[in-house]
Amino acid sequence: MSPINSLRRNPWFETVAEARRRARRRLPGNVYGALVAGAEHGRTVDDNTAAFGELGFAPRVAGHHGARELATTVMGVETSMPVVVSPTGVQAVDPEGEVAVARAAANRGVIMGLSSFASKPVEEVCAANPNVFFQVYWSGERDVMLQRMERARRAGAKALVATLDWSFSQGRDWGSPTIPERIDLWTALRMAPQVLPHPGWLWRYARTGHVPDLTVPNLRPPGGRAPTFFGAYGEWMGTPPPTWDDVKWLREEWGEPFLLKGVCRVDDARRAVDAGVSAISVSNHGGNNLDTTPATIRLLPAIAEAVGSEIEVLLDGGVRRGGDVAKALALGARAVLIGRAYLWGLAANGQAGVENVLDILRGGLDSAVLGLGRASVHELCPDDLHVPPGFAVALGSGSGPGR
Ligand SMILES: Cc1cc2nc3c(=O)[nH]c(=O)nc-3n(C[C@H](O)[C@H](O)[C@H](O)COP(=O)(O)O)c2cc1C
């Protein structure tokens, strides 16, 4: 398609799959590659989406409800539907980055998760959306962690998300994109063959008069400069991994609401309850962590069964349709978080593209609730699904050695 035709094309898209195709066309190869991510063979990233397709719906033929309730709360924060923007640290997709995502989420009444590795400062993001959950890794000395948390609290963040599952796994069989430390003239020249065939992306940056800034402003020390992405990554890698006592400390320092993201095992979910968290997300980091970890939707039922009456259980990984949201809720999730789906929307059409993705999920969820004969997302239950034998996987539910 010529650039002229592509400019004329209707910017609205009808599925997340189409947003992904447009993101692929619009973004330079290395930026698109960073969004697709995944680890090693990519079995987990694939299973996260494929597993949703293995679950079937059990629709009703009559007695449907004319109006359906999709709104809910997550850790006491209201949301117009059980979908939360998951924190992602990806620079260079769009010049407005997380601020555009936050505005889109605010316009659709949805909570915004902001990564500490994001490209925009927490103050700007909180100004764009009143309901921000700020995400941290276990990185740096304790006083530095406290300073970052307090900055987010002052900015107005409503909850802390601690993502602790990352194990620095490396390597993708299909190749990892090259990401520069910073963009100077030499880097720009070197990247030119990748960038020039994507005039739409280039134009978005050209209009701002800035090249992508690959720094991490939320990790800037008081009075200092924001570290580069790789500088921040180095600090994180060099920090000794947290114990359960550290999780408890983090939770006590922040208070509530506190979400522990990255739980795959029933025994970990129980320890999270003991550490005093308000919620967990059943998550394998979108298939970017230990490859061959099962899809999160397979892990959800056992975890929800074990701790769902004590804390809120969320899920992230592989959500691409409103029907996926309904399936996760039917199997015990309070809400889901989405990652790639909104990143592809952002790449395809900026803020409007993220709104487009949220509308697709809302429409699909509403259709599922309608077809299943339910009046509210809170009524969804396992009876609404066909769950094939052997689908669910319970990790860490035995009596193995604990730590
Ligand atoms: C490109 C990319 C960057 C991510 N960065 C972060 C991050 O900075 N912090 C975090 O907690 N999770 C991060 N995640 C994981 C997401 O929050 C979420 O767990 C995952 O994307 C969910 O899977 P999905 O992409 O299939 O929806 C990232 C995921 C992707 C794809």
337-385: pLDDT as tens digits: 999 999 999 999 999 999 999 999 999 999 999 999 999 999 999 999 9
pLDDT-derived band at 401 (thresholds 50, 70, 90) equals: very low
CATH code 3.20.20.70 for 3-386: yes
CA 162 vs CA 149, 187, 243, 396: distances in Å: 11, 34, 13, 21
Query: Cβ(85) to ligand 1 under 6 A?
Result: no
Catalytic site residue 386?
Answer: no
For all residues of the chain together, what is the average pLDDT? 93
115 CA closest ligand 1 atom index? 8
The domain segmentation of the chain, as residue ranges, is 3-386
Strand-pair category, 279-282 with 132-136: unpaired
* Residue 41: burial class (beta carbons within 10 Å; 0-12, 13-18, 19+): middle
> Could you tell which of 166, 288, 296, 342 is best to mutate to test the pocket of ligand 1, judged by most ligand atoms within 8 Å of the CB?
288
**pLDDT at residue 2 above 60?**
no
Average pLDDT over residues 75-85: 98
Could you tell me if the CB of 332 is within 6 A of ligand 1? no
Query: Cα of 216 to ligand 1 centre, how many Å?
Result: 16
Whether a cis peptide bond, with omega within 30° of 0, leads into 241 is: no
**How does strand 279-282 pair with strand 159-163?**
unpaired
Which of 35, 44, 88, 263 to mutate to test ligand 1, by most ligand atoms within 8 A of the CB atom? 88
- Among protein residues, the one with the nearest Cα to ligand 1's atom 27 is 339
Q: Coil, strand or helix: which one is 159?
A: strand
Was 89 annotated as part of a binding site? yes
pLDDT tens, residue by residue, 311-347? 999 999 999 999 999 999 999 999 999 999 999 999 9
4: confidence class by pLDDT, cuts 50, 70, 90 = low
Q: What is the pLDDT of residue 400?
A: 47
Q: Is the CB of 163 within 6 Å of ligand 1? A: yes
Contact between residue 157 and residue 128 where contact means Cβ atoms under 8 Å apart: no
* Centre of ligand 1 from the C-alpha of residue 127, in Å: 23
The widest CA-to-CA distance across the chain, in whole angstroms, is 65
In angstroms, the CA 269 to CA 159 distance is: 19
Q: Is 163 annotated as a binding residue?
A: yes
Q: Please give the Cα distance from 162 to 262 (Å, whole number).
A: 9
Neighbours of 182 (CB within 10 A): 13
